[in-house]
Amino acid sequence: MREETFVNKMLKGIGVSSGITYGRVRLLERGKIPINKRPIKEEQGDKEILKFRHAIRHAVEELNGIKQTMPDDEMRKHSFIIDAHMLILQDEFFTNAVINTIKEDKINAEWALDIVVSKFLTSFEKVEDSYLRERGQDIKYIYDRLVRILVKGKSSDINDFNIKGKAIIAAHDLSPADTIQLNLNKISGFITDVGGRTSHTSIVARALEIPAVVGVGNITSLVKNNDTIIIDGDEGVAIINPTKEVKKDYIAKQIHLKVQRREFLRIAKLKSETRDGFKMKVGANIELLAEMDIIERYGAQGVGLYRTEYIYLSRKELPTETDHYHIYKKLAENKAMEYITIRTLDIGGDKFVSNIEMPTEINPAMGLRAIRLCIKEVGLFKAQLKGILRASAYGPLRILIPMISGIDEVRRAKAILAECMNELARKKIEFNKDIKFGIMIEVPSTCMISDKLASEVDFFSIGTNDLIQYALAIDRVNEYVSYLYEPMHPAVLKMIKQTVENAHAHNIEVALCGEMAGEALYIPVLMALELDEISMNAYSIPKVKKIIRGLDHSYCKELLDEILKRDSGREGNLLLRKEMARLFPNDFVQCYEE
């Protein structure tokens, strides 16, 4: 254990659950368990296989026990995470892969498990979508549990940590089972070495509104039990052993945030309408059915984007029409949402386990993915479309097609949809014959021909993440060029403006579902561009509604005119920040000072 005591040691990570908390550290040091990689004789194979099967059975029993002892209804909403882990443990594809490795390579169970899981993790690391990439951690959590049982032969119950009093948990990582096992009445915050915004621990922390910072890198090597620590889940900051002065500043900020949150949740229920009557729908982006409760609480009018990729990545076989139908039916049956937009598959076939033959591509982000793959593999596309159509009989579902670059793709997609409708009609299966059909505007070419595309579809949804990336030719996760990612770049604003004008000329609506929608700073610009809907992370909705309700649409249009006169995105951004700091000093003071 480290003996040195830091004072005011500030660390930067990823703020994944809003709020500020202050308390004493409880260090959970799971530590990596070293495994013995040992070749075996052929006659020892059955013994190793039996040992592995025993570990599987023991792990399932442990998870069942954790599930049975979940303390309250709020936690039980997240039991699907435990269920998912149990399904993976009992998946024949997974267990057979390990057993076959034991037999063929003549190695012990721990080594075979390590080889198989490493291959799975390598596949997940190739996935571009951060949420889906994070799901590889589920495999890692299962691996850690099995290794503990194989090596130590005993329960990996986290209750061994014997937490006393209210504490802030510091750990290298927390599995969903670890998080659920903790007595959350005694936890005021989380901080971890690794993890991302879409990890299960982050999702659970946000659902329970416990401040959390992840991805700090080395927190477990810097703190010891009973150190004091501040966690700022909004700024992604932690301060070890703060002085009285620093603590006083954060307590004041904590009080301000609590007042602000109460106000935001009140505003969440109000209409998203400017002072002079301009209305813009505010929806939410989601990946899981379990998020429906959260988006309703935070004031979403509808689901602007439901990502479906996890449906493909969470199984070894392609999902069937029935698989799709059951998932979308649950979405459709939520009566609180005015609309639910289901985006069809948006990854390449190389990202999920299937019998589809895929070419090796140098740049898969611009290769055979999304609608391009769906048009090539019509059976795969039809299974999803029919699932959506059947579920549309139960609620206001819409279909959204990603990665469109030209009108031929739109017409081909519509033709396949028509075939699906005819096939269902012949079988006398009920569906919404007037289901809305829209496309993503995320490739610059679609902005340029948006007048023609608008006559083909019922709505547009602008994906600013990819649109900005493709238009400005920058990789926004590349630290050397990420500074060029400018939502306020004049070219980006003009592309959105042109798209909206062409859509409205054809009487169709335009949504915007990229990260730009959830940044309160950009709201006056998006309203001036006269978007009909914006969709974002649920937690951004209350603040966005507050900004909308505090502005006049006429003022926003004047501001956009001034921004468009600027020569660069940086100049336009500076003007916008100054204006927002002037209008909302409690929300944008820091921006103004920059």
Catalytic positions are: 200, 513
Alpha-helical runs (H) found in 427-481: 444-448, 450-454, 464-472
Beta pairing class for 509-512 and 459-462: parallel
DSSP calls for 305-356: EE--HHHHHTSSSPPPHHHHHHHHHHHHT-TT-S-EEEEP--SBGGGS-SS-
With 0-12 / 13-18 / 19 or more C-beta atoms within 10 angstroms meaning exposed / middle / buried, residue 46 is exposed
Count the neighbouring beta carbons within 10 Å of the beta carbon of residue 110: 22
Cα separation of 181 and 158, whole Å?
7
Q: For residue 433, give both structure tokens.
A: 């014959």
DSSP calls for 207-245: HHT--EEE--SSHHHH--TT-EEEEETTTTEEEES--HH
Cα separation of 85 and 56, whole Å?
11
Q: For residue 270, give both structure tokens.
A: 């109000």
Main-chain phi, psi angles of 284, to 5 degrees = -125, 150
Main-chain phi, psi angles of 410, to 5 degrees = -65, -45
> How crowded is the C-beta side of 169, counted as CA atoms within 13 Å?
32
